Structure 1
């Protein structure tokens, strides 16, 4: 059989790269709707009552459903051994169900994402993989519309599938960054993508909050409004994913096994080489650990902000929702601002400066007065300024310290450090609450993550790490 002709060279001109970059930005716009609308706001408060409805039907059939759900905690306390739902043979309290499926989703990603990264680099079919994962996730998110009554397990399965597809698509999406931008463009491109993601996620969330808060005037129940909101996130995700799929291009990879089974086997072997090969890039590993530490602080602060507002500051839910919306839109400008600062002062200095600001902001949690919404908004505003930029510039830096042709593998490790390390921050908050019973102290305990992350990043010789990975050192780093 004659050898096949080599693939035609791709147009890598600045104009061609800009076209891909504009398409790439739209995937952040597309997928952020799932994170903000489903994960951050609607699913948790909705699926727990669904699980309570199932437990009521099983254990308290004589009590009217609405009465049972409203007084569920009292009924369960008065009837030891009752008030559980079945999850694969295990008795789980309804209040713990959302935390359980979130934990399962994270654990599955830790096992799965490295395989995704290795397979993407091994086959080179990144555009197809991005589309496949995006549409699996979007369809699962749209399927949440059918979670009603006592269908808690349907909601749990759909959420795990959607979250796994979301994380998988992000690995592939991030791996395009070094291919569509030069080293000099990296900060700006990464920051624009992150900023546009905040804008897209915030826009749909704003529309959904209007629908939810005005549901009665639209002739909808609250439950129906939530189901429509969650379905809209999947529809938004699916619709805007079309743009990057039309613009992004696959790059040629070295010859490899052609069958699906042998490709997966080759991906496992490549993953093993990546993990063992990290010893050749000790500075890349040091940066990864630094990012793991300070990003754990970032994620824990964001994840506990609502509880901090309600428990420590005694603020109403409307204040929390308004703050979430404000963060989405202010973070758009914050990410662009920090990209501009990176051009003037260097990317590493800008990220280090953001960690100093994170430390100050979190420490101010001790002094925000109870019931003072304005002070909470100011704190949220300051977080929004540094939030997107810290993450976007970190992604840009990481893209510079990884070897070409293995971007997806290394970005899968970045995603794992993002997902898998979250338990450290959560454990720190739990210990602080157990010892002090104070959410203020719990939030302030995150300072240690920013301080340690600052030290580790400061110790990372980035120019040396970039050269060791075979990449060009930008003029300002």
Structure 2
């Protein structure tokens, strides 16, 4: 019997088949968690919490831990608090994850706890804004924690040559799943009268559906992934928390050995902050500056979601041919064109606004998906969760820079056009830093296999 190529003794190598099976299961976590990020965090939570807080307001103010806060500012303060807390907690969680084989249990556990707290938003009504604040903070913390474990698992289920494709498909699944549920919820909220319910009930049911979606589809990666023993664990004494602090301290001291990964991380913080601010400000720009109805802007938001599916897949294919770094740089150049074009989009002209939305959809998923897979090449085996925890923690800890610039420019100019154009600085700085990243050196420093295309 003639041995099959690459398989000693004539035994076929079934590892690629097993990896593809796990990869398909892994994609579904992006499909699952996107329900929270789109339906709840992206669209419905903020306006609904404001309406509930307004019911409790006296002279347009509510008392938050002794501070007098306007109801309209409550969602921003809630998101900021959750973001800052997660920036401190995520690195410790990453250290825990790297010391255990039970990564899929941690992924699913945080997802299910997050979904349970997200489901509590259904019970937020009347003037009970406090429940909404607590439920969202815990759900958002769990969302970030689960994302750390999910990104670390990417390194376990995909070889270096596969990661751009696998990461891009995961993002595509996410945009498809999040967009599908958001479309259903959009119809439910829009036609709530025809369905015999109030708008508040429609919003609450929509947020509950996102929680159930998140929890339910998380069973697919939980059942389909397999655990692997940790690698290169730093010896330490004490309980799990003490040992994890020891691992974290060792990683912090060792960061200087991976200057390429650090350079990319700083570059990512800049251009990702620009991306997140454009997305967060797009609805405000469409309603306040261009004069569109909220329903129109939400419909355009759905267009972005579904175009992003094909954008992520297209960027993944391009990266297989040209390398992730080159494709990310092209994406950043398109982002620069987008914020420049935003200066000139005429008011109440839907076609130019749609063109801008399609352009955003094309680059949105692609740049984020490739950033995840590119960073995975620059970090050492056995510390994936820790490095991805820094990746997410630093992203969250600095996510206010873009919104601060946007707000300051608007304050000075009284126009959203120069405010959104000012974000070009984040793409310029991020792109310039990315140009300095030596991909081949970074992969060698981390001890990873060199992909066929760098």
TM-score range, shorter chain: over 0.9
- Whether contact under 8 Å (2:25, 2:220) holds in the other structure is yes
Provide the rounded CA distance (Å) in 1 between the counterparts of 2:413 and 2:71. 27
Asked whether 1:331 is paired with 2:308, we answer yes
> Could you tell me which residue of structure 1 aligns to residue 156 of structure 2?
179
3-state SS of 1:304 partner: helix
Match of 2:32 among 17, 20, 30: 30
> Could you tell me which residue of structure 1 aligns to residue 242 of structure 2?
265
Provide the rounded CA distance (Å) in 2 between the counterparts of 1:426 and 1:210. 30
- Given the superposition, is the C-alpha separation of residues 284 and 96 from structure 1 closer, same or farther in structure 2, using an over 3 Å criterion? same
3-state SS of 2:179 partner: helix
Match of 1:52 among 27, 50, 54: 54
> Could you tell me which residue of structure 2 aligns to residue 113 of structure 1?
90
Residues 11-64 of structure 1: per-residue CA shift (max 9 Å, x gap): 981111111101000000000000100011111111111011112xxx4xxxxx
> Could you tell me which residue of structure 1 aligns to residue 445 of structure 2?
468
> Could you tell me which residue of structure 1 aligns to residue 208 of structure 2?
231
> Could you tell me which residue of structure 1 aligns to residue 23 of structure 2?
21
> Could you tell me which residue of structure 2 aligns to residue 101 of structure 1?
78
Asked whether 1:350 is paired with 2:352, we answer no
> Could you tell me which residue of structure 2 aligns to residue 452 of structure 1?
429
Q: Shift of residue 391 of structure 1?
A: 0.4
Mark the runs of 5 or more structure 2 residues left unpaired by the alignment: 1-12
Provide the rounded CA distance (Å) in 2 between the counterparts of 1:244 and 1:211. 29
Q: Shift of residue 124 of structure 1?
A: 2.5
Q: Shift of residue 265 of structure 1?
A: 1.1
Q: Shift of residue 254 of structure 1?
A: 5.6
What's the TM-score once normalised by structure 2's chain length? Answer: 0.95
Name whichever of 312-321 and 21-30 sits farther off: 312-321
- Whether contact under 8 Å (2:119, 2:212) holds in the other structure is yes
3-state SS of 1:403 partner: coil
- Whether contact under 8 Å (2:234, 2:247) holds in the other structure is no
> Could you tell me which residue of structure 2 aligns to residue 42 of structure 1?
44
Residues 398-437 of structure 1: per-residue CA shift (max 9 Å, x gap): 0000000000000011112221221111111122112211
Name whichever of 264-273 and 295-304 sits farther off: 264-273
Asked whether 1:203 is paired with 2:180, we answer yes
Provide the rounded CA distance (Å) in 1 between the counterparts of 2:431 and 2:413. 27
> Could you tell me which residue of structure 2 aligns to residue 70 of structure 1?
none
Could you list the structure 1 runs, at least 4 aligned residues long, displaced by more than 6 angstroms after superposition.
Answer: 255-261
> Could you tell me which residue of structure 2 aligns to residue 433 of structure 1?
410
> Could you tell me which residue of structure 1 aligns to residue 346 of structure 2?
369
- 1:68-467 aligned within 5 A: 76=59, 83-253=60-230, 262-467=239-444
Residues 338-357 of structure 1: per-residue CA shift (max 9 Å, x gap): 11111222211111111111
- Given the superposition, is the C-alpha separation of residues 237 and 260 from structure 1 closer, same or farther in structure 2, using an over 3 Å criterion? farther
Residues 46-85 of structure 1: per-residue CA shift (max 9 Å, x gap): 1111011112xxx4xxxxxxxxxxxxxxxx3xxxxxx322
Q: Shift of residue 260 of structure 1?
A: 12
Equivalent residues, number: 442
Residues 309-363 of structure 1: per-residue CA shift (max 9 Å, x gap): 1122111112210111001111000100111111222211111111111111110
Q: Shift of residue 259 of structure 1?
A: 13
Provide the rounded CA distance (Å) in 1 between the counterparts of 2:304 and 2:432. 27
- Given the superposition, is the C-alpha separation of residues 437 and 277 from structure 1 closer, same or farther in structure 2, using an over 3 Å criterion? same
3-state SS of 1:176 partner: helix
- Whether contact under 8 Å (2:232, 2:381) holds in the other structure is no
Q: Shift of residue 467 of structure 1?
A: 0.6
Q: Shift of residue 105 of structure 1?
A: 0.6
3-state SS of 1:472 partner: coil
Name whichever of 258-267 and 466-475 sits farther off: 258-267
Mark the runs of 5 or more structure 1 residues left unpaired by the alignment: 1-10, 60-75, 77-82
